[in-house]
Amino acid sequence: MKQFLGIAIFLLATATAFAQAQKDSTVVPKKKDWSKIKLNRLASDHFMVQVGYDNWANKPDTILTTGFSRSFNFYAMYDIPFKSDLRFSVAAGLGFGSSNIFFNQQEVLVNSQNPTLAFPDMQGANHFKKFKLVTNALEIPIELRYALDPEHSNSSWKFALGVKVGTLLTVYTKGKNMVNNAGQTINDYIEKEVSKRYFNSTRLIGTFRVSYGVIGLFGQFQATGLIRPAYGPPVLPFSIGLCLSGL
């Protein structure tokens, strides 16, 4: 028993001495100075692609959207890191944004002579099986970005806040296949009407992104109304979806 106790005391003393030696030899790493890190291997220009689900805020009950309304955005971006801290950067670019809003047994009369934009309800009458409103815009995105590890951007969390300033290029509606109230096809054709008359030509959109590597999530909310004041309901488009970007 005494021999066992002696061995236990010896092992305890040895372990304590080893732990103390390890503690004394531990060196506290210095905080990395990001202003001195070189990122010469990173390209400053990148493409950014976004695919999202679209809808309208401020939408009255009389507007009957349906299905998976969607958007597609494509931009060429130029990124400039901050010299004082390379985890931060600002980026600007130029690109194209497109939105497709689908409607349920309803039309949007973009090419009419009405004083306001009309959304006639076609329930109970002959109507298009598929009907959508498409807006296309030229946009300038600007972002403030932060990367947790800019030295290893492809395996780092990244965050971005920004705005998009855009101008409306085209607006059109597309109706496909006329059916009756029972859903039976009456005419198999496509009708397209084009007009920007009722719509704001300027767009101001707030944006955010969260990414890991090249894949991430994005969200955006349009601060300017889609439809011109006094020409229709003050709907505000928004999108959420997936984003592919090297930055």
* CA gap 12, 243 in Å, rounded: 56
Q: What pLDDT band is residue 246 in, cutting at 50, 70 and 90?
A: confident
Residue 124 CA, distance from chain mean position: 37
Question: Of the candidates 229, 234, 210, which has an alpha carbon nearest to the alpha carbon of residue 220?
Answer: 210
- How high does pLDDT run on average in the chain? 86
DSSP string, 68-133: --EEEEEEEEEEEE-SS-TTEEEEEEEEEEEEEEEBSSB---TTS--SS----B-TTS-EEEEEEE
Instruction: Output 147 or 42, whichever has higher pLDDT.
Output: 147
* CA gap 230, 116 in Å, rounded: 7
* pLDDT (0 to 100) of residue 6: 47
Per cent of the chain over pLDDT 70 is: 82
* pLDDT (0 to 100) of residue 5: 41
* pLDDT (0 to 100) of residue 19: 47
* pLDDT (0 to 100) of residue 236: 98
Q: What pLDDT band is residue 45 in, cutting at 50, 70 and 90?
A: low
* pLDDT (0 to 100) of residue 153: 80
Question: Of the candidates 163, 139, 140, which has an alpha carbon nearest to the alpha carbon of residue 223?
Answer: 163
What pTM, to 2 d.p., does this model score?
A: 0.81
What single-letter amino acid sits at 143?
E
In the chain, the domains with their CATH numbers are 42-245 (2.40.160)
Q: What pLDDT band is residue 140 in, cutting at 50, 70 and 90?
A: very high
State both tokens at 228.
Answer: 């011109």
Using one digit for the tens of pLDDT, what is the confidence trace for 167-209?
999 999 999 999 998 888 888 999 999 999 999 999 999 999 9
